[in-house]
Structure 1
Amino acid sequence: MLLYIVVAILLCVFASVCLCGSVGTITLPENVSVSAVLVFGDSFVDQGNNNYVNTIAKGNYSPYGKDFLGGKPTGRFSNGKTLPDFLAEALGVKDYLPPFLDPVVNDKDLQTGVSFGSGGSGFDPLTTTITTAIPISVQLDMFKQYIERLKRNIAEEAANKIITNSVVVLVAGNNDLYLTFPLRRSQYDALGYSNMLVKLVLNFIQEIYTLGVRRIVVFGAPPIGCLPAVRTLSGGLQRRCAEEENNLAQLFNTVLGQQLQVWTTSFPQSKLAYIDYYSSLINIIENPKKFGFDVVDKGCCGTGAIEVVYLCNKLTPTCLDRSKYFFWDAFHLSEKGNSILVDQIIQDLVNLF
C-alpha cells in the first residue's frame, strides 16, 4: 500500500459517456475572423505531444480516449474531447485540435491551429527537469518552427496573416505550483515564487507578441487543492479541498491578474483575455447539480481518488455513467467537464474581438 501511494504521488503531479454535444459559439463582430487556435501549456491542453517524447506522463492507452471517435486513445488526458478541442469549436475554427508533434498533421491542419502543450510542463525549469515534459521555452521554439513551416507552404504574407488572426491560449503553472514550489521553499516564499512565475509568463507573452500574435488568452491556476488526487493526498480523512494548495493558486492568480493588466496598457494594439480558471471550476464543484454532475470529488477512472496517468489503465474499471463525473481521472476533467468549463468562460473571450 505504501508503494502504491508513493507511485501515486509521483504520477499525480502531472498535470462520460459524455454525449455532451457542442459547446456554445462566440458571435464575432462583422469582418472579424479567427484563422487558427494555437495552444501552449501542460496536461490540460496536451493533445498528444507527449506521445512523441520520453516521459511517463502519457494518455495514449485505454481507457483514455474511451469516448473519443469510437474509443481512440490519442494522448489527450481525458475520456474524450478536451479544453483545446472545445475552444477551437467555440471559436468556429474546427472540432478537434491536433498536437503539433503528430507526424500525420498536414499543412492544411497547421493553418487552423495545433497544440504545443505537454503533460507535466511548466514555466519553472526545475519542473520539467523532474517531469521530463516539454518546457514552455521549448514549446515556444516549436511555435517558431510552426511559423517557418507555414511560410514555406503558403508564403510569408499569408502565414503572418494567420498568426495575427489566430487566438493563442496559455494554460500552465499548475505543475510549478503543486510539484515544484515545495522544492523551492528554501529559495522563495509563496509570494516570491508567484512573482517569479508571473515574470516568466510575461516573458512568454512578450515573445509570442514579437512573433506577431495579437489575441492572447491566459488561464489562471485552477483550485489545485480540489483536484481529486490532491484531496486524497492533502485533504485529510474527509478528502476536503486542500487549503494550502488552493491558497497558493489564489495568490498566484492575484499576482498574474494584476501584472497582465499592466502588460495590456503597454501594448494596447493587442487583445488579452484573462480566464479565472479558479472561480470557474469552484463554481462547478460547489454547485454540481446545476451543471448536471453527481460526482465532483473523484474521477471516473478506478476509485477516482488517486488514479491518474498509468494508474488509470486498461485493467482499471471506469464509472458507469461518465456524464455524471466532472473529473475523468484524479487530476483531469472529463469530456463533459471540459465542455461545461468552456461554456462558462465563453463570455470572457469576447474581449479578444
Structure 2
Amino acid sequence: MIVKRELSKRATALGIKDSVPAYNSPSLGAQDLATGVCFASGGSGADVLTSSFLRVISLADQLQSFKEYIAKLTATVGQEKASSIISNALFITSLGNNDIAITYSEGRRPELFPTYAGQLVATALGIKDSVPAYNSPSLGAQDLATGVCFASGGSGADVLTSSFLRVISLADQLQSFKEYIAKLTATVGQEKASSIISNALFITSLGNNDIAITYSEGRRPELFPTYAGQLVGWTSSFLQEIYALGARHVWVFSTLPLGCLPGGRATSGMLTCNELVNGLATQFNGLLQHGVSSIKATTHDYDVQFVDVYTPLRAIINNPAPLGFTNVMNGCCGGAAVATGQLCTPFTGQCLNPSTFVFWDFAHPTQRSYEIIVATILQQHK
C-alpha cells in the first residue's frame, strides 16, 4: 500500500502525470487507464487483520481491483497494447508500516494471547488442536468440516460494543456463518453439511465487553436491569437464528467475574475485587440463564446450555495457592499497568512464568486458568 499523495509526487517526478487517480474514483475516465491509477487504501497492510481493524480495502481486494483493471484496459486499448502498458509500468508498493504500528504493536495478533477457552474445549473433546478463524486467508476446504471460529475479540451482543472497538459485529459473524454453510455444502454436499452442523458444538460468549466497556463506561444511558434485559434479548435472538440455520448443540458462556479482572480492580485500589461490577455481571448471568432455559423449554430438539464460567474463575481467585497461582491481581503481560486497559504488545513487559498468574493481561485469564475452568466445565456438561 502507498498513499496516493506520495505516488502522485513520484509520477510527477518521472514525467508521467501530475495526479494519479484512484481506481475506485467515480470520475475515473477511460483515458486514465493507460497512464496509471492507484489501487492503494490508506491504512491497509499485508496482514488482513490490519485492513479489517481499520475497515479499509484489503490487499487481496486491491489485487482483485488490479485484475478488473487489466480487463478494462484490455477492452479499451486491446490485448497487445494492454500487455505492453502493464509490463512497462512502474508499480510502487509499501507494506508493513500499519501491520507493525497498528496490528502487531497494539497487540492484535493472536500470537500474543493465551489459548482461549473454546480452543481448549475443542482440544479436550478430541476435535482438533487448533480451531482456525473463518476469515483466515490460510483456511482450507478441509477445515470447514472440522470446525472454525467466527468470533471477534472485543465484540458483544450490543452493536455499540463492536462499533466502538471497531471489531466484527455479532450480525456480521452470523453472516459469516451463513456463508460458511454455503461453502460447506458446496464442499461436502447438502446431506453431510446438515449432519455436520446439527452435530456440531457451538460455543458463544457474550456480555463481558458489553458490561465492562459499553455500559460501565457510560455508553448506554439505560438503568442496568433494562440494559441487561436487552443483552439477553439480543443473545436469545442470536440463539434462535443459529437454530434456524441448523445448530442443535450450543454452550452459552456466562460472563467472567468482571470486577475481579485486573482492569475491574482498578476502581477499587487493585487490592480487592470490585463487587459493584461483579454484581452487574451476576445480575446479567441470572437473566441469561433464565433466557437460555426458556429457549430450551420451548424448543425441545435444541440442546442449548448455560455454562457458568464465573464461578470456577472466582474460585481460583478466592483460593489460588493450592492451584499454584501466586498472583491474582496483575496481568502476566503488563503487570500493574494493565489496570489502565493497556493491551499486551511485543513491547510490554511479560512475566517469566505465566502459569503462576491467574490473568494474562487486563481482561483475560492465562492458559493455565482456562485449563482449570474448562476441566470444571467438562465435568458439568456432557
Residues in 2 aligned to 1:180 and 1:194: alpha-carbon distance in whole angstroms: 12
1:145-224 aligned at under 5 Å gives the runs 145-182=179-216, 183-186=218-221, 188-224=222-258
Instruction: Indicate the RMSD between aligned Cα atoms, in angstroms.
Output: 2.5
* SS class of match (1:306): helix
Residues in 1 aligned to 2:106 and 2:167: alpha-carbon distance in whole angstroms: 22
Q: TM-score, normalised by structure 1?
A: 0.76
Q: TM-score, normalised by structure 2?
A: 0.71
Residue in 1 that maps onto 2:144:
110
Aligned CA distance change for structure 1 residues 294 and 171 (closer, same or farther; 3 Å): same
Residue in 1 that maps onto 2:110:
75
Residue in 2 that maps onto 1:53:
52
Aligned CA distance change for structure 1 residues 185 and 315 (closer, same or farther; 3 Å): closer
| Residues 166 and 215 in structure 1, CA contact (< 8 A), matched pair in contact too | yes
Residue in 2 that maps onto 1:322:
354
1:16-95 aligned at under 5 Å gives the runs 53-54=52-53, 61=104, 74-75=109-110, 78=113, 80-95=114-129
Residues in 1 aligned to 2:376 and 2:336: alpha-carbon distance in whole angstroms: 24
Structure 2: give runs of 5+ residues left out of the alignment: 1-46, 56-98
- Greater share of helix: 2
Residue in 2 that maps onto 1:345:
377
Aligned CA distance change for structure 1 residues 49 and 228 (closer, same or farther; 3 Å): farther
Corresponding letter in the other structure for 1:230 = G
Residue in 2 that maps onto 1:33:
none
> Whose relative contact order is higher, 1 or 2, with alpha carbons under 8 Å and at least 6 apart?
1
Residues in 2 aligned to 1:51 and 1:115: alpha-carbon distance in whole angstroms: 18
* SS class of match (1:208): helix
Matched, 1:135 2:169: yes
Residue in 2 that maps onto 1:22:
none
Rg (Cα) greater in structure: 2
| Residues 334 and 344 in structure 2, CA contact (< 8 A), matched pair in contact too | yes
- 1:303 CA displacement: 2.1
Between the aligned residues of both structures, percent identity stands at: 35
| Residues 55 and 131 in structure 1, CA contact (< 8 A), matched pair in contact too | no
1:228 is matched with which residue: 262, 268, 280?
262
1:117-128 aligned at under 5 Å gives the runs 117-128=151-162
After the TM superposition, list the runs of 4 or more consecutive aligned residues in structure 1 that deviate by more than 3 angstroms: 48-52, 58-64, 307-311
Structure 1: give runs of 5+ residues left out of the alignment: 1-47, 65-72
1:271 is matched with which residue: 275, 299, 303?
303
| Residues 76 and 82 in structure 1, CA contact (< 8 A), matched pair in contact too | no
Aligned CA distance change for structure 1 residues 212 and 185 (closer, same or farther; 3 Å): closer
| Paired positions, count | 290
Residues in 1 aligned to 2:192 and 2:343: alpha-carbon distance in whole angstroms: 45
